[in-house]
Structure 1
Amino acid sequence: MNRYSVAEFIRKTEQEDKGEGFFELETERLLEVNLEGLVWAKAGAMVAYHGKIKFEREGVLEHGVGAMFKKALTGEGASLMKANGHGKLYLADSGKKIIILHLQNEAIYVNGNDLLAFEPSINHNIKIMKKVAGMMSGGLFNVRCEGTGLVAITSHYEPLTLRVTPGKPIFTDPNATVAWSGNLQPDFQTDISFKTFVGRGSGESIQMKFEGDGFVIVQPYEEVYFQRQS
């Protein structure tokens, strides 16, 4: 039954402090950041906050001239923002499920569209998927997150983690690939035989190939990306 009095609805859905620290899942699709300083987040992900918090888009020279050119090539120069201050910040992204990972001197690559937030102790670097740039209309970049701290990523529905082991490569659809371990460098390939069945603009099936020892996280959903118009 989904019928409540106003008082019942408030009791059922109101914010609750769970004592989980810096990142806290209010629901599986809404992240609470207990902010006492700085957090990096996906631009546009703020849904509410209270306290004194200032928002600032990531500057084009934030990480040097090289990063500026990468951002220009990806068309995602304002994909991240900094939230600085004290209070509670609530983040979400299109109703996607949120996963909090605690990196311990580790690295992970995250699809640029699936990175929600991370602590300032995490170093981040945008990586362009050069080999796929001419094959897809968007989703051309990922972010390498490295260090010790919390990273929040998003997934449409329940994610699946696949182990990559030597001699047994894993192939994934780029539109369904959320993240992978920092030691893996995927290759891109096309399968012409799939062209009849796949509604891609290129008429080909584009696949990511992961080889080595690590993991890759996929979602049961093909996310479609759009390049920002200049």
Structure 2
Amino acid sequence: MSEYTISQFVEKTKQNDAEHDYFELEKPQMLEINLNNQAVWTKAGSMVAYTGNIDFKREGILSGGLGKFLKKAISGEGAKLMKAEGTGRLYVADSGKYVQILQLNEESICVNGNDVLAHDQSLKSDITMLKSIAGMMSGGLFQVKLSGKGMVAISTHGHPLTLLVTPDSPVYTDPNATVAWSGNLSPDLKSNVSFKSLIGRGSGEEFQMKFSGTGWVLIQPYEEVYFQEKA
């Protein structure tokens, strides 16, 4: 029974000291961010532990001024970011979701606002909305477009799949299963009346996101439903 001793458990589950990358996948569902007099944006409420001297400041992602109406229209928790600044190790996670790390090299990606786990402060972030979705769906109303050079961490339910979009082969996705897509793509909303008639009441399958052009779309094997913040 020696494999069940506390010392064996600690050895098996302890942090990995072999690497200290800026963004490091400590566990499949936990991101380690190594700060050295740096600042990083993380999803509010995602901090699970830290060492060193790190200060936190919570701000609304829409504080740039899209108006009170939009602030109320989107998910409360997914709409907020937390700024972590200082020196030390920061560990963040999001409800046991898997973490995907991307390095942008003067590129841009769009991510569902609720799936942004962390990103480098140096990246430019803009809020984009699919106007045709607003008012039709209870969640997934806004996306964050990140561009520039720096690190991004996004979260997914389960292991994601990347679908390639080509001019002769558009991709249709369920909005609640769509995580991210290449920044050059602009999705449209497509309504499938037959699905609505078949099911008999509103559902995620009633609407699909249509991606046309050249690029990629990241989907997850889970339909994530978001809840609006009460006014």
One fold, TM greater than 0.5?
yes
1:116 alignment partner in structure 2: 117
Name stretches of at least 5 consecutive residues in structure 2 with no aligned partner: none
**Offset, 1:95:** 0.6
Deviation larger for 44-53 or 77-86: 77-86
Give the distance between the partners of 2:109 and 2:226, measured in 1 at CA.
21
**Offset, 1:72:** 4.7
CA-to-partner distance for each residue in 1:63-91, whole Å, 9 max, x for gaps?
A: 3x347765454354852110111111000
The answer to whether the Cα contact below 8 Å between 1:60 and 1:67 also exists between their aligned partners in 2 is no
Paired AA for residue 46 in structure 1: M
Paired AA for residue 161 in structure 2: L
Paired AA for residue 182 in structure 1: G
Deviation larger for 186-195 or 176-185: 186-195
Structure 1 SS opposite 2:10:
helix
Alignment of 1:5-44 (within 5 A): 5-36=5-36, 37-44=38-45
Q: How many residues end up aligned between the 2 structures?
A: 228
Give the distance between the partners of 2:172 and 2:109, measured in 1 at CA.
18
Q: Provide closer, same or farther for how the CA distance between residues 227 and 170 of structure 1 changes in structure 2, counting only shifts above 3 A.
A: same
CA-to-partner distance for each residue in 1:37-84, whole Å, 9 max, x for gaps?
A: 200011111011111111111257753x34776545435485211011
TM-score after normalising by structure 1: 0.91
Alignment of 1:30-179 (within 5 A): 30-36=30-36, 37-59=38-60, 62-63=63-64, 65-66=65-66, 70-74=70-74, 76=76, 78-179=79-180
Alignment of 1:166-205 (within 5 A): 166-196=167-197, 198=199, 201=202, 205=206
Name stretches of at least 5 consecutive residues in structure 1 with no aligned partner: none
Paired AA for residue 22 in structure 1: Y
RMSD in angstroms over aligned alpha carbons? Answer: 2.2
Give the distance between the partners of 2:5 and 2:211, measured in 1 at CA.
52
The answer to whether the Cα contact below 8 Å between 1:60 and 1:71 also exists between their aligned partners in 2 is no
Give identity over the alignment, percent: 55
Give the distance between the partners of 1:200 and 1:41, measured in 2 at CA.
37
TM-score after normalising by structure 2: 0.90
Give the distance between the partners of 1:220 and 1:22, measured in 2 at CA.
29
